[in-house]
Amino acid sequence: MNGYNAFGLPGNPQFLDIVETVVGAPVASPEPRAEVPGRSSGAGIACLGMGGTMAAFSGVNHVSLSVTDLNRSELFYTDVFDLIRMMDVGYARILLHPQTGFIFGIATHEGAEGEPFSELKTGLDHFGLYAASRAELVEWEQKLDMLGVVSTPIRDMEFGYHLNFRDPDNIALEIMAYNEVAASFLGDVNHGDIPEQDIESRLNEYLASLASDVGPG
């Protein structure tokens, strides 16, 4: 059984009606892809959609996770992320974050081995969500502690702040917030102020500056 069918692929009118009813706002159609400054029309792999416009995705729609116990996983994700159940299709459940419209799918599969998740196997490494600030991460840390969910201390890293924890099947989850340097850098990239070919070198320069500030151990 194909798990993707239960989540209603984009363009399924019945599915979009459900989302619009729950969220309370219309689901926007993808906008045509904007031209990337400095990139020639032949660069990369072009994929023309209907009407000759460039095919592109306009956001993140859902994540679907394989779990061993639907009831246990639904309780975890609804408690931690304040999700609500949209639909139960037997082998899977569709959970919604009403504020953003983001969809969490949890599914079971016939013949599944049932072992705990490990990032050492090919596939998912971890699933990350975004918080607006380090202060919000502190609130998340407190909430996880209140729910009895074990988490790492907030880690201050080169590009931001990270809070890591795991679900009942050991699936690695993370909530992170960018620091000012990373937020400014990504803003410049988003506005086309940094040419694509310069992105990695600029990041390496930043990391080198941090190393020089620390000095020899």
The per-residue pLDDT for 118 is 94
The per-residue pLDDT for 191 is 87
Q: Which two tokens stand for residue 44?
A: 């990369």
The per-residue pLDDT for 59 is 83
Tell me the pLDDT of the chain (217 aa) as tens digits.
333 333 443 334 444 455 455 445 454 444 444 554 545 444 444 555 556 667 777 888 899 999 999 999 999 999 999 999 999 999 999 999 999 999 999 999 998 888 999 999 999 999 999 999 999 999 999 999 999 999 999 999 999 999 999 999 999 999 999 999 899 988 988 888 888 889 999 899 888 888 876 555 5
- The predicted model scores a pTM of 0.73
The per-residue pLDDT for 8 is 40
Q: How large is the angle between the packed helices 199-214 and 180-190, nearest 10 degrees?
A: 170
The per-residue pLDDT for 47 is 57
Domains of the chain: 1-30+44-115 (2.60.40)
Distance between CA atoms of 167 and 175, rounded to whole angstroms?
13
Query: Taking every pair of C-alpha atoms in the chain, what is the biggest distance, in angstroms?
Result: 61
